[in-house]
Amino acid sequence: MANWEYKIAYVDFRGRISSEGVEFIRQQGEHRTGFVTRYLETLGREGWEVAAVHPLVRTESSYFIMKRPAAAEATKG
């Protein structure tokens, strides 16, 4: 059975992403989809993949749940 590590990101499509105390801000003139794509591509290079998206009702925001295989030393008992 695979072991995973997870990362949760709060994504406000108006221009801010927050995850584990780190802020990712939309650049001047950048489209909303381009902003989120840039963030996901950054995480993808670190091995993260989107496992689920939980949209928040009546807002322009969602929680993104990412996962990647856990490091080998973390999976040893």
pLDDT for 3 beyond 60: yes
Q: Which fold has domain 4-70?
A: Gtp Cyclohydrolase I Feedback Regulatory Protein; Chain: K (3.30.1410)
pLDDT tens digit sequence for 21-48: 999 999 999 999 999 999 999 999 999 9
Q: Residue 7: CB partners within 8 Å, gap ≥ 6?
A: 19, 20, 43, 48, 65, 66, 67
Contact 36, 17 (CB under 8 A): yes
What pTM value is reported for the model?
0.82
